Structures are given as structure tokens and as C-alpha cells.
Structure 1
Amino acid sequence: MPSIHKNIFTIAVVAFLFRLLMFFFVFEHSERTIRPDTPSYVRPAINMTEGHGFSGNEHPPFFPSAIRTPIYPVFIAFFYTVFERDVLIIAFVQIFIDTLTAVLIYIWGRRLFSESAARLGGLIYSLSVEQAVHAVFILTESLFTLFFLWAIIAVSCYREHCRLRWLVSGGILIGIAILIRPIALFFPLIGLLFIWMASPNMRWQFMRHGIIFLLIIAGIVVPWVIRNYLTLGLLKVSSISSYNLLFYNAASLSTDLHRISQAQARAAINDQVTKELTALGWKGDELHSAQLYTAWSRKILFSAPIRYVYIHLKNDINCFLPDVTDFLELIGATQGGKETLSVLNQHGLIAAVNHYFDDNIWLLWAVFPFIALLGVTYLGTILGISIQILQKHWDSLRLLFLPAAYLTLLPGAAATPRFRVPAMPYICLLAGIGIAKSIQCYKIRQQQRTPI
């Protein structure tokens, strides 16, 4: 078997078996696949299968909703229609989807870098506990990660071959990614910048193609925006952004300014906003709720914008924490302490660990291998970035660094390890570069020390 086929087979088997292990933990406990956001995806899927349209209501009247974008609920609805209505079906399919992502990382990394760097990147991703855990959660992570990575691979192929069909494919894929998870909405601008920076001699051609790229994305996303406007009067991809802006970002600033917990800040904001919505007769109205959330957010954030930027970036660090909570809850070992992230932000890491584990500190040793792997991954990533800079491989560095930075810097107060999941393909490849180079240097030094 040729080396490339052997490596693909190895990475696919490792990725699939590790995710299958997570599936065994939920096989008799399907409720463990359910997260706080899961019902907001599953309910529209069920309503679509029952002919009630894209609605988040459990009972009539089934009002149209724009809280979630359509692709993931449609994905769920498809399998609910073909098979029985069981979340385990979705979890099992997502195992294959995330395994495909691991294989794509290797294939793409092999084109960009060395065989060893690509292989290491694919294996690190395959053994990442965050990726494996979220593969069996009924959330958008696995599907979004695949399409977002696929889109960037298509754009990189366009950069390499200057063939428009690759850019067309990238536009279609990024448009789908936006309709899976709207966090990708602004990334086409970064992709356009990346295309434009390709070659000074071909910038006009790249700019023309870039316009086509944006038009293709718009052709996929805009019909959904038009639907939201016609049914709700909401000229947005999703109304969830208004909610997050108020109850996470604005609440985080309020927490800092008033020296209270995030739970207290959110409760206070919720009470005031609910009273205003009720007084105006807008309670339960998605359009006016979104407008009021946005107005309140701006009022709070503009009161201390510089402080907010600092808090936003500080909270982004939460993306890089080990996802111990989700793993332990998946295997049924612990339910975790409430408001652990709030304790972390206010009192530091040691206090957060003690708060979460309480009398079960021994569980920390159970997850130590995963924490150690993540630490090695981060160290390899730093080395990989340094190597790319020293070798002046700016294009490949931008190709990996920009998506990872975009996905992990945007969340702010909402940041949790979950938001790092779609960024891991690029982090893992950078780590693969750094670790492969370190191994190579170690072997050279050993050979130099070996007497002839």
C-alpha cells in the first residue's frame, strides 16, 4: 500500500475509533448528546418534518424563526425523515463527518507542507478530545468544521492554480458554512484579502475573481436573509447575534464595571429588558426583541468601549482551555459546578478548577493525557508559527493563522473551548509543522553525536 494511502487509512481509523469510543458512552444515555443549544436546532427540524415550517415553537401557532440558520436543522430533518427520530443517528453520522475532516487535514497538509507535518497534524486532530466529544453532541461543530475547512482548501487551491472553478467551489462552501453557523459571515472579507495579496502581477485578475467569489456567497446567503425579512421583518442572517451581544458581551462589561457575577449581570439585564418588552407589548416578538437587544447592547458597550475591547480579548482566552467539562459530562463522571467560567474570569484558574471539581479533584488525573496532548499541541503550534516566520512562508502562515485567529477572537464573552473546535484543523497543522521540525532537528543532533 503506498505511503499516502497507508497514512490516510491510519488517520481515518484512529479518528473513527476515538469518536466511536465517545459514541459508546452515549449509546445508552442519548440525553448526554443534548447540550443547552441543541433544542433550538432540533425543534425546527421536527417542525419541518411535520409540515410546520422553520419554526422554534413546540405548539401552535408555529411562528417563523430566524434564531438559527437553516442548514443544520435541515441536516437533522433529513435523517429524522429517512430514519427514526433519534439523536443517536445524528451523532453516529457526525462521527463519519469528523473522520473525513481529519483525513482532509492530512491531504491538504501534505500539499502545503511535508509528509511528516501533515501526518502529525492529522493524528493530533484525530486524538483531540474536543473534536471527538463534539462529534457526538447534537451541535453544529462537526458539520461546520468540515465545510469551513473545505472552503479554505478550495481557496488555497485557487491560489495555487489560479483556476476560477476552485474559487467558485470555495464560494459555495463558505456560503453553506455561513448558513450552518453565522460566525463565518465576515470571513469572506478575510478570504478576499488573502486572494488579493497573492501576487502583485495578478491582482486585477484576482480582484475580478474576488467579486465573483462574493457574488456566489451572496447568492447562497441572501435568499435566507430575504426569507427572514419577508417573514419577520428582520434583515439579518440570524437573530441570535443580538441575543449574544447583549447577554454575553454587554453582560461581561457590566460584570466588570459593577463587580458582580456574570449570572447576576445577565439576570439584571434580563429583568429590565423583559419589563420593557412587556410594557411595549413586544414580548415573544423575535423582530422587536432583536432590535431591543441590539439597542441595549450598544448603550452598555459604548459606555466603556476601550474597557470592553480589553475584556473581549481577555475572555477569548477561554477558547484555549481544555474541554474537560464536556468530556466528563459526556462519560457521566460529573455534572460540573455552575458558573465555572465566571469564577475563572473573576478569580483565576486555580479557583475555577477547585470550583468545578469540588471534592472530585481525582478526576483531573483521568483527563491529564488529553490536557497534556493539548499542551504539546500549543507548544508545537508556537514552534510551527515561528518556523513559518523564519522561513518567510507568509502565504501558508496566513492560510493557517487567519482562520484560527478569526474563529477564536470573535466570540469574546461567549468564548468556551467549543469555539476552538472549528479552529483546530489549522492549529493542528501548525503543531504538526513545529513537532515534525523538532523531531528532525533531534535526529540530526543524535547523528552528529554518534561516533563514526
Structure 2
Amino acid sequence: MAQGLKCIMQWFMDRKCLTLLVILSLVIRFAILMVVIEHPEKSLGGDAGHYDLIARNLLAKHQFLGPSTMLGTKHYKGLSFWHEAQLYPDSMIPESLRPPLYPGFLAAIYLLFGRSVAVVLLFQNLLAVMTGIIAYKVSEKLFGNTVGIITFILITCNLGLLAFPFYLLTETLFVFLLTLAFWFLIEFLETSRKKYLLFSAVIAGASALCKPITCYLILAVMPVLVMKYRTELSRIVVYGLLYSGVAMMVISPWLIRNYLIFNHAKISSSQGLNLYIVNVSMMESDKFASDWGLLHKQKLIDVQEIIDKSKLNSMEISTITEEMGLSAIRKEPLSYLRIHLKGMVRMLIGHNLPYLHALLTDKPYNSGSALSIFVETGSLRSALDSLRRTSGSLPVVVVLIVIVRALIYMFFLYGGYRMIKTSPLYLLLFLSFIGYFVVLTGPFGIDPRFSVPIIPFINIVASFGIYSLFERFRLHRETSKGEV
């Protein structure tokens, strides 16, 4: 233990610039934390209240329990200790909507420190800084120390990775695990040591227990294995099976639990529910130019009626709603393709300013801000009209964010272009991970929250682009001086 701490300290001492940036990042996050803990209810809105309730049930009843209805958390008051469990003690049933890792993370903190929102936020901010350090290590490994420093700065300043550690939501823990799995995958590709592939697979499996979207992460890994071992089919097959098999072993206890309780071996019941309630609502809203919120609410009511009238468990309800969603999509495949593609684009251009803005001001999350309107409607005219109506400094901030995002993507494209020549294998890996999340997220890309997983990968490539561009200018200047 002491030797390990000594090695860590020496590692940071050898990287003084990174150490100073880490300290500065922690100071900024601590300052924001001091503001946020004055109103901890902001950190517990929406899905956060559900995670908090499950965590408290884990501690009190030693079971993974949630509300008995889909709308059970609608009026949940997150700050009232055991509020919902006390009011509706018999309404808690085995939970299937939320995977276990994040509620377990909360429960572990509650067990050690009591139910303190501030302590959870502190731990999440430490994870966010560690995510930046891991991204630095990936960049340093592939491109050198300077690119690593640029990567850490970009990730530290990113609004998504700055805002979400202050919410009791899965994003921070999930991105940390995903970046860690990516780092071990890089180590495997560099050294061909199978232990790194195993570590990556274990962590990928754990991340699927945080957000189920990584269940199929092998789809992002396989193209890289094929490219690296294109003349060795047996190694491609063995490594592919090893990665997916180990990840499945990590997930399997939860699948067994759900099979025993619900007779369905799925990680979550969210897939079917989201397909009908969210995706079909978006499709109908886009096709008929109607209010998405009203359609979404009506779909919730429809599903709630099925729940109230039947004796089916939540997984069975999910299966029914999944078929309802697929049926609607089969009737209008082009309409669904349209909203899927729009969601992919919005995921790439989305921003997280409203989440940070809501934390630091008395105003709630404002989906009517100019950039949000552009992201949600695709209408530049509506966004500009909103911008003109907005008073104060927010329009300036929005414009700056748009400019910075545009520059990041320009550097990303240039970095990708340079990687085609220098490291095509790793370019494929970055593009595979980014493409995986963009394609699978689809219509959900309307919420900038879902863009958070791809932030580290985009910024690493963009950092290499920044470095390469400055190196090109430097060499050009030196060449010009030499000629003179």
C-alpha cells in the first residue's frame, strides 16, 4: 500500500504541469460544490430521485427495490429521508428499470458517510478528475505528454464533465469506467498482453451494469481486432469471444437475478418502455409537428393503464411496450429513420450549458435556451429568435460555446486526418467507440446528457489535432527562417 502511494506520488512529481492542472481543477470543482450544496435538491431532480430511493432501500431493506408504478417517483421529494418508503411502505417492489451499479455506488457512500448529497458529489468530482487523468494517460501513451496536457485541459473545461458530477446521475461513474476500459484496451493493443484485454472486458461489463448501452461494446472492439490481426483469423475469434465472454460473466449475476424474479434475463426493462414512450413519441411529434411533451405524457398514461389493469411484472410490461413500439416503427420506418438520424446529429452538436446553468442559478433547467432550441428542433431561425429575446450575458456564453464546439470538431477532423498517416489502428478505435454510442443512442441524442460518453474520445483526437497544427506552423516558421 505504502509503496503504491509512493509510486503515485512520484508519477505526479514527474508531471508537474499535470499536477498543477489537477489541483486547479479540484479547486474549481470545490468552489462549485460550495454553491451547489446550498440547494442540494437541484442534484436530486428527475432520475436522480429514483437512484437515491433505490440506494436507501438497499441500506434499509437489503433489497434492490423501487416504486411499484412507473410514475411512482413523480412527486418524490429527494431530501425527505425515507419519505416515499414511509408513505408507501408496501409499494416498493423489486426494481427492474435501473441497473444495479450506480444505486450500489450511492448505497456504499451512504453506508460509510450517511445520506449526504455533498459527499456523493465530492466523490463524483474526484471520479471526473480521474477520468481526465486517464484520458491524459491515453493521450500521453499515443501522442506524448503535450497532447496529454491539452487533453486534460479540454476535458476539464468541458461543460458536460463539469456539470454532471453535481447530479446524482450515472454519467460520471459511467464515463470513468468507459474511459478506464478504453485505456486498458489501448494497453492491450500496444503490448498484446491478454491481461489488459481481460481488464478492459471486466470494466466494460461493469459499465453495462451502470448504463446498459455498453452491453454490445464488442461491436466497437471487433473492427480494431480485425484490423490488427487481419491475417490471423483464430486470434480475432479468440480475442472477440474472450472479451464478450468476460463482459457477460460480469453481467450474468444480474441477469440471473432478473430471470429468477421476472422470468426475463435482461439487464433492464427500460428498452421496451423507452422504445414506445420516448422513441415513438418523438416520431409522432416529428411527423405531425405536435408537442412532444404531450405525446410523451399520453404514452406514459397508456403504459400506466396497462400496469394498473394487468398482473404482469415490469419485464413483461417492457416486452409488451417493446412490441408496441416496434409495431409503430414498422408502419413508419422512414419517419423513425428521420428522428434517429436527427438524434445522432443532435448528440454531436448538443451542449450541457442548461445543466450547469441550473446548478449555479435560481432558474430551473431551461430547455428554451437558443442552443437547446436548435438542438431540439433543428431550426436555426427559432434559435436565433430565442437568442434575440434573451437578455443578459447568456447569449454571449451560448455564442462562445458554439464557436468552441466548432473549433473542437475542426481540430478533431484534422487530428483524425493526421492519424490516418501515423496511427490508423487507433483512429479506427476512436471512431468505433464514438460511432457506437452515436448510432445506438439515436433519438435520445436530443438530450445532451447522452453525449457525455463520447466527450473524452472526441477531445483526445482534437488535442492531437491542435498539437499537430501548431507543430506544422512551428516547422513552417523554422523552415522560413532557415531560408532567410
Fold similarity call, TM over 0.5: yes
Superposed counterparts of 1:38-49, under 5 Å: 38-49=48-59
In structure 2, do the counterparts of structure 1 residues 31 and 195 end up closer, same or farther at CA, with 3 Å as the change threshold? same
Contact persistence 1:174–1:188 (CA under 8 A): no
Report the counterpart of residue 346 of structure 2 in structure 1.
318
Q: Secondary structure at the match of 1:130?
A: helix
In structure 2, do the counterparts of structure 1 residues 393 and 425 end up closer, same or farther at CA, with 3 Å as the change threshold? same
Q: How many Å separate the matches in 2 of 1:238 and 1:169?
A: 24
Report the counterpart of residue 465 of structure 2 in structure 1.
434
Report the counterpart of residue 373 of structure 1 in structure 2.
404
In structure 2, do the counterparts of structure 1 residues 346 and 189 end up closer, same or farther at CA, with 3 Å as the change threshold? closer
Equivalent in 275, 299, 302 of residue 330 of structure 2: 302
In structure 2, do the counterparts of structure 1 residues 343 and 374 end up closer, same or farther at CA, with 3 Å as the change threshold? closer
Q: CA offsets, 1:13-45, max 9 Å, x none?
A: 243233223322202111222231101211110
Contact persistence 1:47–1:53 (CA under 8 A): yes
Report the counterpart of residue 443 of structure 1 in structure 2.
474
| TM value normalised by structure 1 | 0.92
Q: How many Å separate the matches in 1 of 2:114 and 2:468?
A: 49
Structure 2 spans left out of the alignment, 5+ residues: 1-9, 68-84
Report the counterpart of residue 328 of structure 1 in structure 2.
357
Deviation at 1:90, TM superposition (A): 0.6
Q: How many Å separate the matches in 1 of 2:305 and 2:241?
A: 46
Contact persistence 2:99–2:267 (CA under 8 A): yes
Report the counterpart of residue 78 of structure 1 in structure 2.
108
Q: Secondary structure at the match of 2:89?
A: coil
Report the counterpart of residue 97 of structure 1 in structure 2.
127
Contact persistence 2:135–2:148 (CA under 8 A): yes
Q: How many Å separate the matches in 2 of 1:128 and 1:344?
A: 18
Deviation at 1:4, TM superposition (A): 5.2
In structure 2, do the counterparts of structure 1 residues 167 and 160 end up closer, same or farther at CA, with 3 Å as the change threshold? same
In structure 2, do the counterparts of structure 1 residues 421 and 15 end up closer, same or farther at CA, with 3 Å as the change threshold? farther
The answer as to 2:277 corresponding to 1:267 is no
Contact persistence 1:382–1:434 (CA under 8 A): yes
AA partner of residue 309 (structure 1): L
Greater Cα offset, 235-244 or 91-100: 235-244
Q: Secondary structure at the match of 2:15?
A: helix
AA partner of residue 158 (structure 2): S
AA partner of residue 325 (structure 2): S
Contact persistence 2:177–2:204 (CA under 8 A): yes
In structure 2, do the counterparts of structure 1 residues 432 and 338 end up closer, same or farther at CA, with 3 Å as the change threshold? closer
AA partner of residue 326 (structure 2): R
Report the counterpart of residue 242 of structure 1 in structure 2.
272
Q: CA offsets, 1:359-414, max 9 Å, x none?
A: 4353222455544433322221121112223x163211012121122223322222
Superposed counterparts of 1:161-172, under 5 Å: 161-172=191-202
Q: How many Å separate the matches in 2 of 1:56 and 1:273?
A: 17
Q: How many Å separate the matches in 2 of 1:23 and 1:51?
A: 31
In structure 2, do the counterparts of structure 1 residues 205 and 412 end up closer, same or farther at CA, with 3 Å as the change threshold? closer
Q: How many Å separate the matches in 2 of 1:176 and 1:193?
A: 22
Q: How many Å separate the matches in 1 of 2:375 and 2:400?
A: 22
Q: Secondary structure at the match of 2:61?
A: coil
Q: CA offsets, 1:193-250, max 9 Å, x none?
A: 3223312344413422332222211111011011111112232111112222112211
Greater Cα offset, 133-142 or 301-310: 301-310
Report the counterpart of residue 50 of structure 1 in structure 2.
60
Q: How many Å separate the matches in 1 of 2:414 and 2:146?
A: 15
Report the counterpart of residue 68 of structure 1 in structure 2.
98
The answer as to 2:180 corresponding to 1:150 is yes
In structure 2, do the counterparts of structure 1 residues 356 and 370 end up closer, same or farther at CA, with 3 Å as the change threshold? closer
Report the counterpart of residue 444 of structure 2 in structure 1.
414
Contact persistence 1:14–1:123 (CA under 8 A): no
AA partner of residue 451 (structure 2): R
Q: How many Å separate the matches in 1 of 2:102 and 2:431?
A: 27
Equivalent in 102, 111, 117 of residue 87 of structure 1: 117
Contact persistence 2:277–2:299 (CA under 8 A): yes
Q: How many Å separate the matches in 1 of 2:114 and 2:435?
A: 39
- Larger RCO, structures 1/2 (Cα 8 Å, 6+ apart): 1
Structure 1 spans left out of the alignment, 5+ residues: none
Contact persistence 1:321–1:417 (CA under 8 A): yes
Q: Secondary structure at the match of 1:197?
A: helix
Q: Secondary structure at the match of 1:63?
A: strand
Identity %: 20
Q: CA offsets, 1:332-362, max 9 Å, x none?
A: 1532545775775446144246558954353
| TM value normalised by structure 2 | 0.86
Greater Cα offset, 311-320 or 135-144: 311-320
AA partner of residue 273 (structure 2): Y
Q: How many Å separate the matches in 2 of 1:29 and 1:369?
A: 28
Q: How many Å separate the matches in 2 of 1:352 and 1:78?
A: 43
Superposed counterparts of 1:246-257, under 5 Å: 246-257=276-287
Contact persistence 2:56–2:107 (CA under 8 A): yes
RMSD over aligned Cα, in angstroms? 2.4
